[in-house]
Amino acid sequence: ASGNVVIDRRVITDAAITDSPQVVVDSQNNAHIIWSDFRNNNWELYYEKIAPDGTTVVNDHRLTNAPGTTATPSVAVDAANLYVAYEDNRDFDREIYYMKLDLNGNVLVDMRVTNARGRSELPSIGIDSAANAYIVYSDYRDGNAPQVYLAKVNTQGSVVFERQLTSAFGWSVQASLAVLANNIHVVWQDHRDGNAEIYYQKRDVDGNLIGTERRLTNNPANSAGPIAVVNGASAAHVLWQDFRD
């Protein structure tokens, strides 16, 4: 809790390029790391599990095996499983995929979530108390300006709904979500005001808007790359990069 570095070690020893690492920690304080890796001359997702003392519990292994680029994973964890959203262009268009793993990195479900004209990218995933997964992402199906969409995937791996969250003029991108008390907190970077600002919505588990959409930043400089997190008191916290200074 003091912020001192306890362990600092290299996780991946392969010489290939690696990108977009994501880590979550389970109830036993094991770290689960998923990243995009080019070791087989193609971008694929890999996994490794690390114990609290820094030792490797499950060696790194490949999760995906498809032609095309697999990238930008987002990961959530509960007491039994890992949940992963990622983008993949194996079907000649960039689409969002969903994967469910056990806590040793074995793939239980791997399925395509989106299936619309125009690319879908940059997913962020969260889960509710019933282990339903919620994924937000940027989607270009409605023209040149991307909008934010939300998909719900149930425990059987079926898409329950896919819903458009934004429709304003200008780009809506880099969405992030956090789920707590069965409420979905969504933030994103929005260009409707002539520059990049951070916006926020709260949704229920059926995707319905709770209250009104809110603009969080208001400065002539750009505000970008928001990340949403929640605490045990049902409060949402948002971090972002800001160019005002």
8-42 pLDDT, tens digit each: 888 888 888 899 999 999 999 999 999 999 998 89
> What local confidence, expressed as pLDDT, does residue 169 receive?
87
Looking at residue 152, what is its pLDDT? Answer: 98
- Say what the alpha-carbon torsion angle 125, 128, 133, 134 is, to the nearest 10 degrees: -60
Q: Please state whether beta strands 197-204 and 133-139 pair in parallel, antiparallel, or not at all (unpaired).
A: unpaired
Joined together, the tokens standing for residue 137 give 């992402």
Find the mean pLDDT for residues 216-227: 94
More confident residue, 182 or 79: 79
User: Which residue spans within 69-204 are E strands per DSSP?
Assistant: 70-77, 81-88, 95-102, 107-112, 120-127, 133-139, 147-153, 159-164, 172-180, 183-190, 197-204
Which tokens go with 95?
A: 């689409």
Say yes or no to pLDDT of 1 above 70.
no
State the pTM of this model: 0.95
Q: In angstroms, rounded to a whole number, what is the distance separating the alpha carbons of residues 189 and 113?
A: 22
User: Cα–Cα distance between 137 and 154 in angstroms, integer?
Assistant: 17
Q: What angle do CA 25, 88, 138 make, to 5 degrees?
A: 80
Which residues have C-beta within 8 Å of that of residue 44, sequence separation ≥ 6?
Answer: 36, 37, 62, 63, 64, 65, 66, 70
CA 238 – CA 231 distance, rounded (Å): 11
Determine the pLDDT at residue 51.
97
Please check the confidence at residue 235 and state whether its pLDDT lies above 90.
Answer: no
- Encoded tokens for 210: 């709770």
Q: Average pLDDT for residues 153-176, to the nearest whole number?
A: 95
State the average pLDDT for the chain.
Answer: 93
User: What confidence tens digit (pLDDT) does each residue in 174-216 have?
Assistant: 999 999 988 999 999 999 988 999 999 999 999 999 999 999 9
For 87-146, the pLDDT digits (tens) are 999 888 899 999 999 999 999 999 999 998 889 999 999 999 999 999 999 999 987 789
Can you name the residues that pair with 34 across neighbouring β-strands? 22, 47
CA torsion sign, 16 to 21 to 24 to 29? positive
Mean pLDDT for 36-53 is 94
